[in-house]
Amino acid sequence: MTVSFSSTLDNWRPQAQTDYDVVSPDAVKAFSALLNVAPVAGPGDTLPPLWHWLSFLAWPCQDELGTDGHPAAGPFLPPIPDRRRMFAGGRVQYPGILRVGDKVRRLSSLKDCVVKRGRSGELVFVTVRSEFRQGGELRVVEELDYVYRSGKGGVARQRPESPASSGTWEMPHSFDALELFMFSALTANTHRIHYDADYATAIEGYPDLVVQGPLQVLLMAELVRRHTTRPLASVDFRLHQPTFTGDTVVVRGRHTGPDVIQASVDRASGGRQASMKVTF
Ligand SMILES: CC(C)(COP(=O)(O)OP(=O)(O)OC[C@H]1O[C@@H](n2cnc3c(N)ncnc32)[C@H](O)[C@@H]1OP(=O)(O)O)[C@@H](O)C(=O)NCCC(=O)NCCSC(=O)C[C@](C)(O)C(=O)O
């Protein structure tokens, strides 16, 4: 059945939302543990790029979760039937730095909602823009793209294998259910596609548990963090195709200009899963 989303979304105008949180040293410790490193920052230190995704966690009541484990309703969740959600990409700018231990104000609003036709059918791309301020100063501006489809059976086929270009820095990585569980716990992510294999395969039609998009993006950022201490100006990233438990990947990165690094997550057997451009 073909569903047309445009008419459903015509009158969808979610209100902007303001939230407050503190960049918690405990979250930094916990994500450092997932990365198998000693805590990379403590109170007063600069928070590594994108680690603010470990803050502003939402814990809706269990009764408020949909069958996919994700909140059934929320300010930026588009009202389409039998909604299936994925993280698709984003752009983050750093006019300043966030410090661990400090209070942060986040102002979020709907930037865009576009209906497109992809290889997997009709897709809705929702972009949420957020500004993060500490002590009244603008520190981070981000736009995150989420992609939604309706119902089962619309999963895009894996793109044909293509030899991935090599990187100056390479970090092999295998995803397993334990790591996905740790990351879901750290980000208060109750989305079943990351921990409930029966649901992920039988209901959403994936071959296995789906690796969280933010985790893949943070692994690219981690490779960059390990090779430069320069403050970032911007980070752009895109999730090209889903990665699943059991997939072995290589996280790659290299300078493509004096102030630019390109990074990627490539399946070891070939195929680009995610990519990132960092500028300084
Ligand atoms: C996004 C998918 C469905 C497109 O699927 P497709 O292959 O069918 O699309 P396409 O044919 O490649 O492109 C169609 C149109 O979409 C656009 N497009 C294509 N990709 C993007 C993108 N990233 N951002 C913005 N636009 C995009 C593309 O430019 C094109 O536009 P055009 O017609 O104007 O030329 C496909 O690429 C895909 O499956 N990517 C992987 C997604 C993924 O694995 N995400 C992580 C797991 S989900 C997750 O972590 C969730 C979490 C953490 O639990 C939680 O937030 O709830």
pLDDT tens string 194-227: 999 999 999 999 999 999 999 999 999 999 999 9
Q: Residue 40 sits in a domain of what CATH number?
A: 3.10.129.10
Work out which ligand 1 atom sits closest to the CA atom of 210.
47
Pocket of ligand 1 (CB under 6 A): 70, 85-89, 116, 118-120, 125, 145, 147, 156, 189, 191, 210, 212-214, 238-242
How high is the ipTM of this complex?
A: 0.95
The fraction of the chain above a pLDDT of 70, given in percent, is 94
CA of 86 to the centre of ligand 1 (A): 7
The fraction of the chain above a pLDDT of 90, given in percent, is 84
Give residue-wise pLDDT tens across range 148-191.
998 765 565 566 556 567 779 999 999 999 999 999 999 999 99
**Residue 1: predicted pLDDT:** 46
Estimate the share of the chain in helix, then strand, then coil, as percent rounded to the nearest 5: 20, 40, 40
Kindly report the three-state secondary structure assignment for every residue of 155-197.
CCCCCCCCCCCCCCEEEEEECCHHHHHHHHHHCCCCCHHHCCH
Q: Which mutation among 53, 54, 86, 91 tests ligand 1's pocket best, with the greatest number of atoms within 8 A of CB?
A: 86
CA of 41 to the centre of ligand 1 (A): 32
Give the range of the structural domain holding residue 16, as residue numbers without chain letter: 5-279
Give residue-wise pLDDT tens across range 262-273.
999 999 888 999
Q: Which mutation among 146, 240, 273, 276 tests ligand 1's pocket best, with the greatest number of atoms within 8 A of CB?
A: 240
Average pLDDT, the chain: 93
**Residue 139: predicted pLDDT:** 98
**Residue 62: predicted pLDDT:** 97
Q: Which mutation among 124, 239, 266 tests ligand 1's pocket best, with the greatest number of atoms within 8 A of CB?
A: 239
Q: Are 213 and 224 in contact (CB under 8 A)?
A: no
Q: Which two tokens stand for residue 75?
A: 């300010």
Helical segments of the chain, H only: 5-9, 25-34, 177-186, 197-198, 213-227
Give residue-wise pLDDT tens across range 228-243.
999 999 999 999 999 9
Report the domain count for the chain. Answer: 1
Task: Indicate the pLDDT class of residue 244, thresholds 50, 70 and 90.
Answer: very high
**Residue 25: predicted pLDDT:** 97
CA of 216 to the centre of ligand 1 (A): 14
CA-proximal residue: ligand 1, atom 48 (nearest): 86
Give residue-wise pLDDT tens across range 36-62.
999 999 999 999 999 999 999 999 999
**Residue 37: predicted pLDDT:** 96
